[in-house]
Amino acid sequence: MSNDYFSVCIPLRHLFGFCEDYKRILMNCSQQLILNRASNDMDALQIFETDNTKAIELSKTKIILNKVLWKMPMIKVANKEKLRLMKVIDSHKSIKCPFRTWELAEYPFLPTNTRHSWSVRTCNNLEKPRYVIIGFQTDRKNTGSKSMAVFDHCNLTNLKVYLNTQVYPYEDFRADYPNNLYSLFYNSYIQFQRTYYDRDWASPLLNHSKFKDIMPVAVIDMSRQDDDIKINSGLDLRLEFEFSNAVPEKTTAYCLVIHDQIIIYNPFSGDVRKL
């Protein structure tokens, strides 16, 4: 930062599952970027000032977006390929675009007990959840003194995800964070990189100790499902938590659901709809 100005470049694949998964050419398709801002900027700031008067003054800091540039790659093809694409447009046929999308659910204040059940969402058969990532934060919203980029383990011992009658994972985690017994949670964090990106190797950003201090999240792999079974009544996603001690007050639970998504667009008319 220089003179209170800064710039940042964020790859769209870090924000949208569509930009990460869909690698084909889009023709005659309008795209729109919508930014939703909070009422204040406290969750984007961390104040290190110890003087209370100065800290209150710093809490009034505003982040102003002066310019937003949205860059998308433009692909030029050879004449032979261009004729083939023109035939696709003239055929008036719709094109399917399958990808994995990310949907965040929030439980603002968990009850202060050792067990809790959370009905997250109901989805149809086309939006099957493939991964669920759960994290907790205690008294971090709108404070400024604590980083919103850090999560708390809240003495989580076990976690179960129910998709109708199916339960994930089959075995218990049996974690004990105060005694540094959380290897199964850390292993699920490592394995997510392998299965999500279909790799034989993993290079986690956090080691075993930093995982506990910075981001003790729980990653549940639900990618291996029987897709031949069609469910007409919908899929109910439910979480069950177990803690060794009562959940602290002002604890928020976050659930990031990575599920299938299919959109259809018509290159001739430009219409886009979701299945």
**Which residue type, as a one-letter code, is found at position 100?**
R
Residue 208: which residues within 8 A CB-CB, separation 6 or more? 183, 186
Question: Which has the closest alpha carbon to 18: 265, 271, 193, 205?
Answer: 265
For residues 63-84, average pLDDT: 89
Confidence category of residue 150, pLDDT binned at 50, 70, 90? very high
Q: Which of 40-54, 90-104, 177-191, 220-234 has the lowest mean pLDDT?
A: 220-234
CA 60 to chain CA mean position, Å: 29
Joined together, the tokens standing for residue 173 give 């985690």
Mean pLDDT, range 173-201, rounded to an integer? 92
Task: Answer whether residue 185 shows pLDDT above 90.
Answer: yes
* CB 220, CB 134: distance < 8 Å: yes
Residue 126: what pLDDT? 82
Token look-up 């930093």 returns 210
Q: Which fold has domain 12-274?
A: Adenovirus Type 2 Hexon; domain 4 (2.70.9)
What is the predicted pLDDT for the residue at 175?
93
What pLDDT sits at residue 187? Answer: 94
Strand runs labelled E in the chain: 95-107, 115-123, 129-138, 156-163, 166-168, 218-221, 235-243, 251-265, 272-274
Q: For residues 49 and 167, which has the higher predicted lDDT (pLDDT)?
A: 167
Q: Which tokens in the block code for residue 67? A: 């310019």
The pLDDT-based confidence of 72 (bands split at 50, 70, 90) is confident
Give every CB contact of residue 215 below 8 A, 6+ residues apart in sequence. Answer: 135, 150, 151, 206
Tell whether the model's pLDDT for residue 230 goes beyond 70.
Answer: no
Beta bridge partners of 163: 166, 237
What is the three-class DSSP state of 238? strand
Q: Which two tokens stand for residue 122?
A: 């109901």
CA distance 199 to 160: 26
pLDDT value for 213: 93
Residue 180 has pLDDT above 90, yes or no: yes
Position 54 pLDDT exceeds 90? no
Average pLDDT of the residues of the chain: 89
With 0-12 / 13-18 / 19 or more C-beta atoms within 10 angstroms meaning exposed / middle / buried, residue 141 is middle
How many other CB atoms sit within 10 Å of the CB of residue 19?
14
Predicted pLDDT of residue 238: 93
Section 64-79 average pLDDT: 89
